[in-house]
Amino acid sequence: MVREQHKRLTVLGATGSIGQSTLDIVRRNPNKFDVIALTAYSRVEELAALAIEFAAELAVIGDATLLPDLKAALSGTGIESHAGEAGLIEAAERETDVVMAAIVGAAGLRPTMAAVRQGVTVALANKECLVCAGDLLMDEVKMHGATLLPVDSEHNAIFQVFDFDRARGVEKVILTASGGPFRGRSRDSLLNVTPQQAVAHPNWDMGAKISVDSATMMNKGLEVIEAYHLFPVEKAQIDVLVHPQSVIHSMVEYADGSVLAQLGSPDMRTPIAYSLAWPERMHVPVKRLSLSEIGSLTFEEPDLDAFRCLHLAKEALMNGGSAPAILNASNEVAVEAFLAGRLRFVDIAAVVSDTLSACDIKAPQSLSNVFEIDKMARREAARWLGVRTQ
């Protein structure tokens, strides 16, 4: 009997929601994976417990001040422990087959780039890599022969039905959006929306920031930018369609009129498992889709007046250069202010628009440039925010 080949796996961001779902799949398939390295930002005890459970070679804590705690928790196990950005990069460069890149925010940029430079399969669950540094990252993917697999449900859906060998036959990629908790409401009706209302997503269980982005439809705008870098299409070929049931995760329309869609229950373990097992498929204990139970699927055009953030994101993609990075940074500042009760929901788009107008959109030439642009945009957004909230 031939022993099944194990895949070596590194998880960057092991204690976040994507990391936890990834390790849940590994836990259920112990004969398929060997865990090489795990990282987290500050959850020392959880990271140590996972490293011990999965017999990892290396555990890395992003907050360097917590390294002594990690070393103490792993004492006597033989598991290496490192910390800080250098440690995260060390984890990304450790010899492996698949890297799950799930570190949230700009902190994931350099480790993800380090993983790509290994030439391995990188399962990408970090938006900032493509939104802020898409051209730079894709150049590195091509240079080092890496395989980039999208983990976001929408991009993973497109990846599953996109004919890369005959891409000229593609007319559109269509990203579906649930519409969030405020679908169908006018801009005027959103003036007094609270953070509690904004984070109450109807279909997905997400963190506060991503939930607000879904409510403003900025999340979908960021996904439009990502799609441009992931798939060989023109900017104008990327559409968004509101689909409240979140059953069709995205579609590809072809020149002959065919539209291919990927469907499934809204569970992130499906696209994660697809990325881990690719090019094969593996069993995942998610709820099976029953179209007869659902009964009907509905669709509508997004309201770009009520949800101006989607328009701003599309505009940033068209303008190119550093506009997407400025969009992302200013949105993070505005969302943080909204969640803290210092900004109205409808003014998130205003802060982003003002920041984009005030900043130079010259394209970044390196990751260092990306970080400089990010800081500049955050300063400008904070300045505009101060004016608007006085």
Q: Please answer whether residues 155 and 227 qualify as being in contact, where contact means their C-beta atoms are separated by less than 8 angstroms.
A: yes
Domain-located, residue 273: no
Domain-located, residue 117: yes
pLDDT tens-digit readout, 279-328:
999 999 999 999 999 999 999 999 999 999 999 999 999 999 999 999 99
What is the domain count for the chain? 3
Band of residue 208 on the pLDDT scale cut at 50, 70, 90: confident
Domain-located, residue 276: no
Domain-located, residue 301: yes
Q: Which helix (H) or strand (E) holds 124?
A: strand 121-124
| Backbone dihedral region for residue 267 (phi beyond 0: left; psi -120 to 50: alpha; all else: beta) | beta
What pLDDT sits at residue 12? Answer: 98
What pLDDT sits at residue 346? Answer: 95
Domain-located, residue 176: yes
- 343 with 373, same domain: the answer is yes
User: DSSP labels for 221-287?
Assistant: HHHHHHHHHHSS--GGGEEEEE-TT--EEEEEEETTS-EEEEE--S-THHHHHHHHHTTS-----PP
**CATH code of the domain containing 337:** 1.10.1740.10
Domain-located, residue 286: no
What pLDDT sits at residue 199? Answer: 86
pLDDT above 70 (res 96): yes
- 145 with 180, same domain: the answer is no
Q: Which of 91, 117, 150 is the last residue of a domain?
A: 150
Q: Which helix (H) or strand (E) holds 174?
A: strand 170-177
Between 204-213, 298-307, 330-339, the lowest mean confidence (pLDDT) is in 204-213
Structure tokens at 308: 């101006």
pLDDT tens-digit readout, 6-22:
899 999 999 999 999 99
- How far apart, in whole angstroms, are the C-alpha atoms of residue 186 and residue 199? 18
- 81 with 174, same domain: the answer is no
Q: Is 173 in a helix, a strand, or coil?
A: strand
**CATH code of the domain containing 44:** 3.40.50.720
- How far apart, in whole angstroms, are the C-alpha atoms of residue 206 and residue 214? 10
- How far apart, in whole angstroms, are the C-alpha atoms of residue 102 and residue 124? 7
- 296 with 379, same domain: the answer is no
Give CB contacts under 8 A, 24+ apart, made by 206-210.
206/17, 207/17, 208/339, 209/332, 209/335, 209/336, 209/339
Band of residue 104 on the pLDDT scale cut at 50, 70, 90: confident
Domain-located, residue 142: yes
- 114 with 193, same domain: the answer is no
| Backbone dihedral region for residue 325 (phi beyond 0: left; psi -120 to 50: alpha; all else: beta) | alpha
Q: How many residues does the chain have?
A: 390
What pLDDT sits at residue 319? Answer: 97
Band of residue 356 on the pLDDT scale cut at 50, 70, 90: very high
- 308 with 167, same domain: the answer is yes
DSSP state of 3: P
pLDDT above 70 (res 205): no
Structure tokens at 145: 């022969």
pLDDT above 80 (res 388): no
- 256 with 325, same domain: the answer is no
- 251 with 356, same domain: the answer is no
| Type of residue at 191 | L
pTM higher than 0.95:
no
- 163 with 143, same domain: the answer is no
Q: Which helix (H) or strand (E) holds 36?
A: strand 33-40
pLDDT above 50 (res 2): no
Residue 372 belongs to what domain range?
320-385
Domain-located, residue 202: yes
Average pLDDT, the chain: 94
What pLDDT sits at residue 203? Answer: 57
- The pair phi, psi for residue 91, each rounded to 5°, is -65, -45
Q: Which of 318, 335, 354 is the last residue of a domain?
A: 318
| Type of residue at 168 | R
Band of residue 390 on the pLDDT scale cut at 50, 70, 90: very low
Band of residue 3 on the pLDDT scale cut at 50, 70, 90: very low
pLDDT tens-digit readout, 121-171:
999 999 889 999 999 999 999 999 999 999 999 999 999 999 999 999 999
Structure tokens at 98: 């698949």
- How far apart, in whole angstroms, are the C-alpha atoms of residue 321 and residue 133? 10
- 260 with 158, same domain: the answer is yes
Q: Three-class SS string for 175-234?
A: EEECCHHHCCCCCHHHCCCCHHHHCCCCCCCCCHHHHHHHHHCHHHHHHHHHHHHHCCCC
Q: Which of 116, 150, 184 is the last residue of a domain?
A: 150
Residues 6+ apart with CB under 8 A from 350: 388
What pLDDT sits at residue 206? Answer: 60
- 173 with 299, same domain: the answer is yes
CB atoms closer than 10 angstroms to residue 206:
16
- 97 with 182, same domain: the answer is no
- How far apart, in whole angstroms, are the C-alpha atoms of residue 253 and residue 237? 10
Higher pLDDT, 184 or 385: 184
pLDDT tens-digit readout, 243-291:
999 999 999 999 999 999 999 998 999 999 999 999 999 999 999 999 9
What pLDDT sits at residue 302? Answer: 96
Give the residue among 267, 280, 305, 323 at the shortest CA–CA distance from 98.
280
Band of residue 37 on the pLDDT scale cut at 50, 70, 90: very high
